[in-house]
Amino acid sequence: MEKMGIRPVAISVDSPKESRDLREQSGYTFTFLSDPNAEVIRRYDLVHAGAGEGGRDISRPAEFLIDSSGVVRWVNMTENYWVRARPEQVIEAAKTLE
């Protein structure tokens, strides 16, 4: 992704510490952001109410490719949370960005 000039950013309600642990365990090096009160997740209308631990509001899985001017160029909203975007789909979409 980064070689193509696309910055991957992971966003969830996990705290910075939880994200740090996940990042270290998984070996991912890209940016992880915390939205503990689901404020940004709400702004993007992605709240999955009560679906988290102890009935917490969490994010549904979703991927957005944003170009450097801040415009959305590709969106993937899964219909089933076991099913996520495949890297090929993202790479295909990323090719259209200048």
Query: Interface residues with another protein (CB under 8 A)?
Result: 1-2, 4-14, 16, 18-20, 22-23, 31-35, 39-41, 43-49, 51-53, 58-75, 77-83, 86, 90, 94, 97-98
Task: For another protein, give the closer residue by CB, 27 or 62.
Answer: 62
Task: For another protein, give the closer residue by CB, 27 or 82.
Answer: 82
Neighbouring C-alpha atoms within 13 Å toward the C-beta of 2: 6
Task: For another protein, give the closer residue by CB, 2 or 27.
Answer: 2
Least distance to another protein, CB of residue 3, Å: 9
What count of other Cβ atoms lies within 10 Å of the Cβ of residue 16? 12
CB 96 within 8 Å of CB 77: no
Amino acid at 20: R
What are the tokens at 13?
A: 């309600």
Least distance to another protein, CB of residue 43, Å: 5
Least distance to another protein, CB of residue 85, Å: 8
Phi, psi of 68 (to 5 degrees): -65, -15
What count of other Cβ atoms lies within 10 Å of the Cβ of residue 59? 20
